[in-house]
C-alpha cells in the first residue's frame, strides 16, 4: 500500500489566539506555535504512526484568507464518535452547519462546522 498522498494542510486564521483555543478545545490536542518572519503557525501534533497527515493553522493576512468555499478538510474524531467533538464546537465559539449524519454503513458519520475564523471543516467517525 502506498502512503497517503496528503502531506500537509494549512488552515487560514485571522486571530491566532482564538483559533488555537477553538482547535485545542474541540480536538483536545496541544498545538505548537511557531513564527517564521511574517508567517505565524500553530502546528497540529504529528501522529506516532505514518497514517494520515498533519498540518497547521496559519496567520498571514497577505496570503491566507479563511473561507467557507473550496476544499473541505475532514478531521477524524479521535474519540471514535464525532458526537463528542461536535459537542465541543459551539462551546469553543464555532457553529454547527450540518449536524451529525450517516454517510453509509461502511463509511460512518460526518458533520460540518464553521470554526471561529470563518473556515468550514468536517468531522468524521465510524460510529
User: Where residue 60 sits, what CATH number does that domain have?
Assistant: 3.10.180.10
Q: Provide the pLDDT for residue 85.
A: 97
The answer on pLDDT for 25 being more than 60 is yes
Residue 67 neighbours by CB under 8 Å, 6+ apart: 12, 118, 119, 120
Does 31 fall in a domain? Answer: yes
Would you say residue 28 has pLDDT above 70?
yes
> Does 46 fall in a domain?
yes
Given a cut of 80, is residue 50 above it in pLDDT? no
Q: How confident is the model at residue 46 (pLDDT cuts 50, 70, 90)?
A: confident
Query: What is the band of 53 on the pLDDT scale with cuts at 50, 70, 90?
Result: confident
In a domain, 1, yes or no: no
Chain segment 76-102, per-residue pLDDT in tens: 999 999 999 999 999 999 999 999 999
| Per-residue pLDDT, 29 | 94
Q: Is residue 3 included in any domain, yes or no?
A: no
- Residue 92 in grid coordinates: 469553543
What is the number of domains present in the chain? Answer: 1
What cell was used for 73?
A: 478538510
- 123 neighbors 82 (Cβ within 8 angstroms): yes
Domain that holds residue 42: 8-125
Query: Quick check: is 119 in a domain?
Result: yes
Q: Does residue 30 contact residue 45 with C-beta atoms inside 8 Å?
A: yes
> Who's near 77: CB < 8 A, 6+ residues apart?
84, 85, 123, 124, 125
* Alpha helices per DSSP H over the chain: 16-27, 82-89
Evaluate whether residue 61 is within a structural domain.
yes
Amino acid at each position: 500500500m502506498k502512503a497517503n498522498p496528503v502531506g500537509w494542510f494549512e488552515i487560514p486564521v485571522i486571530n491566532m489566539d482564538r483559533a488555537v483555543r477553538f482547535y485545542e478545545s474541540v480536538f483536545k490536542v496541544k498545538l505548537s506555535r511557531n513564527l517564521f518572519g511574517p508567517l505565524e503557525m500553530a502546528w497540529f501534533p504529528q501522529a506516532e504512526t505514518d497514517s494520515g497527515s498533519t498540518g497547521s493553522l496559519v496567520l498571514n493576512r497577505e496570503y491566507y484568507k479563511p473561507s467557507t468555499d473550496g476544499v473541505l478538510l475532514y478531521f477524524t474524531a479521535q474519540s471514535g464518535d464525532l458526537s463528542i467533538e461536535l459537542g465541543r464546537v459551539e462551546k469553543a465559539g464555532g457553529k454547527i452547519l450540518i449536524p451529525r449524519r450517516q454517510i453509509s454503513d461502511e463509511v460512518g458519520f460526518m458533520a460540518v462546522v464553521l470554526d471561529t475564523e470563518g473556515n468550514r471543516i468536517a468531522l468524521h467517525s465510524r460510529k
